[in-house]
Amino acid sequence: MNILVYLIPISLLLGGFGLGFFFWAMKTRQFDDPEGSAARILRKDWDDRPQD
């Protein structure tokens, strides 16, 4: 059962990363226009290269 000493912190850390990314996404307003974001990835406008 000694493996738990590593596994539990690792699982908490990974979960914490997830939480951190969620906070970051909220802060950078990624949830302002969910419908628009879903539609935007289907456009052909900027497919060739990244937008400048």
Partner 1 sequence: MSSHADISAPFEPERGGLAACPACAVAPSAQSIAALAAGQGANIMLSLPSAHCAACISTVETTLMQEKGVKAARLNLTQRRVLIETDTGVTAAQMIAALARAGYEAFELNPDMLSSTQTEKVSRDLAMRLGVAFFSMMNVMLLSVAVWSGGDGATRDLFHWISALIAIPTVAFSGRPFFASAARSLAAGRLGMDVPISLALILATAISLYETTQGGHHAYFDAAVMLCFFLLLGRYLDHRTRAIARSAAHELAALEVPRATVLLKGTTEAVRPISQVGLGDIVRVRPGGRMPVDGVVIAGHSEIDRSLLTGESLPSFAGVGTQVLAGEVNLTGPLDISVQATGRETALHRMADLVAMAENAKTRYTSLAERAAAWYSPLVHLLSFAAFGVWLWITQGDLRYAINISAAVLIITCPCALGLAVPAVVTAASGRLFRAGLLIKNGTALERLAEVDVVVLDKTGTLTMGAPVLVNSTGHPDTVLRMAMALAAASLHPLAQSLHMAAQARGITAAHVTDIAEVAGYGIEGRYQGKTLRLGRADWVGAEAMDVTATYLRWGDLTYAFAFEDRLRPGVMQAMATFAAMGKTVHLISGDSPGPVAAMAQKLGITHWQAGALPQDKAQLIAELTAKGHRVLMVGDGLNDTAALAAAHVSISPASALDAARVASDIVLLGADMGPIADALRIAVQARRRILENFALSIGYNIIAVPLALVGLATPLAAALAMSLSSITVSLNALRLK
* Interacting residues toward partner 1 by CB under 8 A: 1, 4, 8, 11-12, 15-16, 18-19, 22-23, 26, 31-36, 39-40, 42-43, 45
Q: What is the DSSP string of 14-38?
A: HHHHHHHHHHHHHHTTTTS-HHHHH
Q: Residue 52 CB, nearest distance to partner 1 (Å)?
A: 13
Nearer of residues 29 and 49 to partner 1, judged by Cβ: 29
Nearer of residues 43 and 49 to partner 1, judged by Cβ: 43
Is residue 13 within 8 Å of 19, Cβ to Cβ?
Answer: no
Whole-angstrom distance, CA of residue 24 vs CA of residue 31: 11
